[in-house]
Amino acid sequence: MPTPLLSADNLSFRYGDGAPIFDVFSWQVRAGETWAVLGTSGCGKSTLLYLLAGLRKPSGGRIVVDGTPLTRPRATTGLILQNNGLMPWATVWENAALGARLGHFYRWKGEKPGDVRPYPPQLPLTDADRWLERLGIAHLRNQYPSQLSGGQQQRVAIARTLVLRPHLLLMDEPFSALDTVTRADLQRLVISLQQELRITSVIVTHNIEEAALLGSRILVLHHPPNRAPHIVDNPGAGTMEHRHSEAYRAVTARLQAQLEGEMVDGA
């Protein structure tokens, strides 16, 4: 069996002296897989994503990416946040090209032998233009985030991430603040990019329908502490047509039952 691209090995985590959110929790993601992480509020969805991104450190156990224990954020891991994280004083192009520009700035920066390079690679700045064009926002290149719609802002955030050619894409409820039509449009875009790039991705969502549409495998988290992964396979995911299938309805019903049972048990 191939080595996983990403794994949580006996992972434990708690905030301060609080109760554990994860307790000796193990889970694996293989290269090319598309995962959705689903659960009720407070179950640890975003916490798990920040652990995978290297933004938080485990209380016990470890996260391993590409065979190397994770100790800090990696340049080859892309992170798209709910609030998009754009710099308000920078133009669309400047936001999209941020990582590539940092790569040029740090091109002479060294690291200790054996360390994973944390700095962005030195990539052509023209990659920003290419992704703005691919995502349909090249005509907005000289505008500022405050001049954009919510959907356009998220497209800029996606462009900024893909410019760095990540091996792993992490998304934290990136469409939850958008209207229904814009959300569906960006879901369609993510599916297209997954098919085009075959990038390994993990998307956190509280929306059952979104999880069933985007995740070929779905990790369901429950009321903490999470000790074992609850996984729902969803092989039909990855096309907008899946939303109209019997398999989609079966998966959403199964997920709904799991979350409703969780709410009853936690009441």
Whether the per-residue pLDDT at 118 is higher than 70: the answer is: no
Is 44's pLDDT higher than 50?
yes
> Is the pLDDT at 43 greater than 70, yes or no?
yes
Query: What mean pLDDT do residues 142-146 have?
Result: 96
By three-state DSSP, how is residue 250 classified? helix
Which residue has tokens 């391993």?
Answer: 64
% of the chain with per-residue pLDDT over 70: 90
Residue 266 has pLDDT above 90, yes or no: no
| Token digits of residue 46 | 């975003």
pLDDT higher than threshold 90 for residue 221 = yes
Q: What is the pLDDT of residue 2?
A: 64
| Cβ neighbours of residue 26 closer than 8 Å, sequence gap 6 or more | 7, 8, 9, 10, 11, 61, 228, 229
Q: What is the pLDDT of residue 105?
A: 66
3-state secondary structure of 24: strand
- pLDDT-based confidence at 155, cuts 50/70/90? very high
User: What would the mean pLDDT of 225-238 be, rounded to a whole number?
Assistant: 94
* Res 1: pLDDT: 58
Q: What is the predicted pLDDT for the residue at 150?
A: 92
Output the pTM of the full model: 0.89
pLDDT for residue 132: 95
What pLDDT is stored for residue 267 in this prediction? 39
Cα(212)–Cα(215) distance, integer angstroms: 6
pLDDT value of residue 72: 87
Say if residue 61's pLDDT is above 90.
Answer: yes
Q: Does pLDDT of 166 surpass 60? A: yes
In order of 29, 39, 61, 213, 221, the CA distances from 235 in angstroms are 15, 20, 30, 10, 20
What is residue 100's predicted lDDT score, i.e. its pLDDT?
A: 81
- Per residue in 11-34, pLDDT tens? 999 999 889 999 999 999 999 999
Please state, in angstroms and rounded to a whole number, the distance separating the CA atoms of residues 10 and 82.
28
Q: What pLDDT, on the 0 to 100 scale, is given for residue 108?
A: 61
Which pLDDT value is given to residue 264?
A: 43
Give Cα 256 distance to the centre of its chain.
22
The helix (H) or strand (E) run that includes residue 230 is: strand 230-233
CB 100 within 8 A of CB 163: yes
Tell me what the pLDDT averaged over the chain comes to.
Answer: 89
Please state which CATH number belongs to domain 73-199. 3.40.50.300
In this prediction, residue 260 has a pLDDT band, given cuts at 50, 70 and 90, of confident
> Taking the domains of the chain in order of start, what are their residue ranges?
1-32+56-71, 73-199
